[in-house]
Amino acid sequence: MATDARMSPPAHTYAASPFDRTDRDIILLSADQVNFACHKTTLSIASPFFADMFTLPQAPRASVQATNDGPAEIDGTPVIPVTESGRTLDTLLRLIYPVDAPAMDDPAHIVEVLCAGRKYQISQASIGMMTLFRTIRKFIASHPMRSFAIFCLHALEEEALEAAKQILRKASSKSNVLAATSATLMDTHIQTFLREGHAGAFFRLREYLRNDGQVEDYFRFTYDNRPPQAIEDNSEPWHSYFFTGLGSEHDPIGLLHVPADLHIRSSYSSSDHLVHKLILYASSPILGKLADTCLEVHEDGLPVLQVAENEEVLRHLLLYSYGSMTSMIHQETCRVDALLFLDVFRAANKYFMSNLVAAMRVILRPYITTDPIQAYYVAAACGWESEVREAARNTLAIEGRADESYVTTMEHAPAQAHAAFVQYYIMCNTAVGNIIKGHCSSANSPELPSGSWRRNCPEGVLARSGGSVGPAVFRKVSEANVEKELDHWQVSVAPSFMESVPRGPSTAGWGSPAATRRKPDATQLANEIAKCIGTLKTDTGTLDGEIRDKLAEASLMFSCLLNTT
C-alpha cells in the first residue's frame, strides 16, 4: 500500500562535512532551512554568546514543540534557528572549527560573516577571525569605494572609516568620489549601496574627503552625526519631529451627532481615537478591512484597532480621512516637518491611501521653490520624479554650493539621490563656467554667478520662505548655473562680462584694452555657446536631453542680455 505523503516526516537538509556528523549534540538551523550538526563544547569555547545560551535552563522534552522556523528537535537533538543564511553560517563555523579555511573571495559575503561573528561574540583574536580581518584589509586596499559601500550597508562604522581613509590616500579615487563620476559608481556592490544605502552616508563620505579627513570626534558615516548635546535622549520613534500635536486644535474627528463605532489606537500610545468604520473604508480599504477583524473590545463595547504607526502619524492619517488637507503645515510659520511628512507618506502607501499621497504631492509643491534642497530629498524618498527634477533645478538659485548642504532628510533618501544631484550640480556649474571663461580674459573673468537664496531654517524642516526671497530669485536664465536671477546678471555680472569682450576690429586677443573692443555679434555668441553645449557630456542619464535643451535656451537668453547692455 502506498504511503500517504502527508504522513511522511519532512526531509532534513544537512550541511556539508563536518557539519553532518552523528555525534552532534546541538543543531543550528539556518534561515534557508539547512541543518548544521554542531557541538556545544566547540561553540561555547569560541562564542560567549553560545556559552551563555547553553547554560540557560532547558524546557522539559515533553513540552518542546516545533516552531514556524522548523522542528524543535531532530532525532532527540535540540534545534536552534538562526537568522543567517546557510552560506554565511557555513563559513563562520569553518572559521571556528579546526578545518581548512573556507574560500573568501566575495566581499559582500565576507562582510556578512564578519557581522555574524560579531553578533555571536567570536573573539577577534581567534585564528579564524584574524584570517577574516586580513582578507578584509586586502579588500579595502584594492577596492576602497566598493568596501565603503558594503560596510555602510551593514553599519560597520570602523571598517567604513578605514575604507574612507584609503580613498583619501588615492588622489584619483578622492576626486572621482567628490564628483560622483559614473565610472566610480558602476560596481555592482556600489550600485546596491546607491539603491539601498542612505544619501547621508554618501554625503558624509564626500564631506570627509573635502576636509581631508579632519572631522569632529563624533563624526560617523553610518550613525546619527549630530553633536552629542543635540541628540535627544528619547527612544520614542517620533522624538526627532520638530512639530507635534499639529491639527489637534481643529480636530474634525469628533462628529458628535454621528456615534462612533470604532476605537483606533497607536501601538505607542494608550489613548484612543473614536472614529467611524465607514470613513476609514472611504479613505483606506486596508484600514477598513482591519477594522472588521478586530479582536480587542473596549469597555464601552466597541472594537479596538491597533496600528503600528506612532500617535503623530496616526493623527494626520485620521485628519485627512475626515477632510483636513493641511494638518501637517504649521499654521504660523507654514513650515512642514520633513520627517513627519515622510512617515505619513509611508503610512499612506501602506494603507493604500492614494488620495492622501496625491494631496501630499500638492503640499510639497511650493517648497520645491522655497526650500529646494530639502524638497529634493523628500521627493527622492517618495519616488516623485518630476518633483525631483524641478527641485534640482531650483537649487541652482541657492547661495554657495548646494551639493555641500546637509539636510536630515538625506538619512531617508537613497544614496543614488545624492550621487545624481552631485553629478547634475557639478555638470551645470562646469558648463556655465566654460561658457563664461570662453569669452573673458583670465585677468578680468567675473566669478560664476551665485544665487542670493540662503537656507536659514532647521535641517529637518521644509521652509516656505528662506529670508529675503523675492520673485526675482526664482526667475531663471537657464537649466544650469546661469539659471539665476536675471536682475543679478544685468546689474552685477553683465558689465564685468562685457569689459572682457573684444569691441573693435583689432586682431588683439580677448585681453585687449576696452577702447579697442566691441560687442560681439549675438548670433555668433549664441553659436559659440551652442557649440560648447554640444560637447557637454553628462552622467545623469535621463536628464541629459532636458539639460541640453535648457542650456540651448540659455544661449539665446545670453544673446538678449548682451544686446540690452
Q: pLDDT, tens digit, for every residue of 193-249? A: 888 888 999 999 999 999 999 988 888 898 655 444 443 443 344 446 766 666 666
Per-residue pLDDT averaged across 39-61, rounded?
A: 83
Asked if the model's pLDDT at residue 561 lies above 60, the reply is no
pLDDT band at 457 (very low <50, low <70, confident <90, very high): low
Give the span between the Cα atoms of 278 and 303, in whole angstroms.
Answer: 14
With 0-12 / 13-18 / 19 or more C-beta atoms within 10 angstroms meaning exposed / middle / buried, residue 537 is: exposed
Helical residues (DSSP H) of 404-493, grouped into ranges:
415-437, 486-488
Residues 6 or more apart whose CB falls under 8 angstroms from that of 76 comprise none
CATH of region 248-357: 3.30.710.10
Counting residues of the chain whose pLDDT is more than 90, the rounded percentage is 30
Between 2 and 23, where is the model more confident?
Answer: 23
For residue 8, what pLDDT is reported?
Answer: 46
pLDDT of 251: 53
Whether 510 has a pLDDT exceeding 70, the answer reads: no
The residue extents of the domains of the chain are 248-357, 362-563
Tell me what the pLDDT averaged over the chain comes to: 74
Are the beta carbons of 213 and 206 closer than 8 angstroms?
Answer: no
CA distance 412 to 342: 8
Mean pLDDT for the stretch of residues 546-552: 51
* pLDDT score for 261: 86
Alpha helix ranges (H) inside 253-407 = 277-283, 285-291, 311-321, 338-350, 354-370, 372-382, 385-394
Q: What is the full DSSP assignment across 177-232?
A: HHHT-TGGG-SHHHHHHHHHSBHHHHHHHHHHHHTTT---TT--SSS--S-GGGS-
Count other C-beta atoms under 10 Å from residue 218's C-beta.
14
pLDDT computed for residue 202 by the predictor = 92
Q: Are 261 and 252 in contact (CB under 8 A)?
A: no
Q: Which residues share a beta bridge with 147? A: none
Q: Is the pLDDT of residue 549 over 70?
A: no
pLDDT value at 36 more than 90: yes
Range of lowest pLDDT (102-111, 133-142, 432-441) = 432-441
Q: Is the per-residue pLDDT at 535 higher than 50? A: no
The percent of residues in the chain predicted with pLDDT above 70, rounded, is: 66
Banded pLDDT at 538 (limits 50, 70, 90): very low
Question: Residue 259: which residues within 8 A CB-CB, separation 6 or more?
Answer: none
Distance between CA atoms of residues 381 and 327, nearest Å: 21
Tell me the longest C-alpha to C-alpha distance in the chain: 111
Cell, residue 93 = 563555523
| Sign for the pseudo-dihedral over CA of 284, 289, 295, 299 | positive
- From the list 438, 520, 432, 423, the residue with the least C-alpha distance to 476 is 432
Least confident of 70-74, 102-106, 407-411: 70-74
Q: 279-326 pLDDT, tens per residue? A: 899 999 999 899 888 888 888 889 999 999 988 899 899 989 888 878
Among residues 28, 58, 29, the alpha carbon closest in space to that of 43 is found at: 28
- pLDDT of 97 strictly over 60: yes
Taking phi over 0 as left and psi of -120 to 50 as alpha, with beta for the rest, 196 belongs to: alpha
| CA 65 to chain centroid | 42
pLDDT confidence of 68, banded at 50, 70, 90? low
- The pLDDT assigned to 428 comes to 80
Give Cβ neighbours of residue 408 (< 8 Å, ≥ 6 apart): 200, 240, 338, 339, 459, 460
- Judged on CB neighbours under 10 Å (0-12, 13-18, 19+), 331 is exposed
Q: Is the pLDDT of residue 376 over 60?
A: yes
* pLDDT of 562 above 60: no
Average pLDDT over residues 328-346: 88
> With 50 as the cut, is the pLDDT of residue 260 above it?
yes
pTM for this structure?
A: 0.70
pLDDT at 501: 33
String of DSSP letters for 129-150: HHHHHHHHHHHHHH-HHHHHHH
Residue 166 has pLDDT above 90, yes or no: yes
Pick the closest to residue 117 from 133, 103, 98 (CA basis). Answer: 133
Q: Which residues pair with 74 in a beta bridge?
A: 77
